[in-house]
């Protein structure tokens, strides 16, 4: 019973960290990264579809992306979707290739992106702590129902706390890496 609670907590905490990694992909650095377009959807024959499933997205040089749609008629839709997204990018079309220059980050925008990254990291920490609270609640319920002893309960709570510390450490490491990436000129 306790092992199931711990395993569930560990799975949920790892999913929280994975969600943080996805959120960090949306925080733009000065370098071109195709992952920045993962959240941008276009209408592909009535179905919302990510750009990377209807086009090749490649890094042309350090500061721009090239998008080559597999169908020519998708070029205007992709342009519109990028403009509507809150990424702050301006696509430039050249025939059937869309170029996305990444504007250089000013000191002010870097600080704003760091604030955004810190907010995302804090959401990740809160999520991990909420999972810890749920797991500890489940352990206490087992103790109330006398399915486990107090020693087993303490041991389980200690193990859950160690898991929490491990995943919060991962969140902090990811944040430090992202901040370092953002401050790179």
Residue 1 is classified by DSSP as -
The yes/no answer on whether domain 34-101 falls in CATH 3.40.50.460 is no
When pLDDT is averaged across residues 143-152 and rounded to a whole number, the result is 89
Question: Is domain 2-26+106-183 in CATH 1.10.132.20, yes or no?
Answer: yes
Burial of residue 62 (CB within 10 Å: 0-12, 13-18, 19+) is: exposed
Q: Are 156 and 5 in contact (CB under 8 A)?
A: yes
For 109-144, the pLDDT digits (tens) are 888 888 989 999 999 999 999 999 999 999 999 989
- The mean predicted confidence, pLDDT, of the chain is 88
What ranges make up the beta strands (E) of the chain? Answer: 41-44, 47-50, 55-61, 64-69, 92-94, 97-101
Domain edges within the chain: 2-26+106-183, 34-101
2-26+106-183 shares its CATH topology with 34-101 = no
Distance CA 9, CA 21 (A): 19
Give the Cβ contact number of residue 152 at 10 Å.
15
- Could you tell me the CA-to-CA distances from 111 to 21, 90, 108, 117, 180 in Å, in that order? 19, 22, 5, 10, 12
Alpha-carbon distance 77 to 42, whole Å?
6
Q: How far apart are CA 49 and CA 87, in angstroms?
A: 17
Assign 2 a pLDDT band (cuts: 50, 70, 90). confident
Q: How far is CA 48 from CA 37, 72, 112, 118, in A?
A: 14, 18, 30, 30
Q: What is the pLDDT of residues 58-117, one digit of tens each?
A: 888 878 889 999 888 888 888 888 888 877 788 888 888 888 888 777 888 888 888 989
């Amino acid at each position: 019973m306790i092992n199931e609670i711990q395993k569930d907590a560990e799975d949920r905490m790892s999913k929280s960290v994975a969600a943080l990694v996805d959120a960090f992909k949306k925080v733009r650095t000065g370098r071109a990264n195709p992952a920045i377009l993962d959240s941008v959807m276009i209408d592909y024959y009535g179905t919302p579809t990510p750009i990377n499933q209807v086009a090749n997205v490649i890094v042309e040089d350090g500061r721009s992306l090239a998008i080559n749609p597999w169908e020519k008629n998708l070029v205007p839709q992709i342009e519109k979707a990028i403009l509507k997204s809150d990424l702050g990018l301006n696509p430039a079309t050249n025939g059937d290739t869309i170029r996305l220059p990444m504007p250089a980050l000013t000191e002010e925008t870097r600080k704003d992106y760091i604030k955004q990254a810190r907010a995302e990291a804090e959401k990740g920490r809160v999520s991990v702590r909420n999972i810890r609270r749920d797991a500890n609640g489940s352990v206490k319920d087992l103790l109330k129902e006398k399915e486990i002893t107090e020693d087993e309960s303490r041991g389980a709570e200690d193990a859950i706390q160690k898991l929490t510390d491990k995943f919060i450490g991962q969140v902090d490491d990811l944040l430090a890496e992202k901040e370092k990436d953002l401050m790179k000129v």
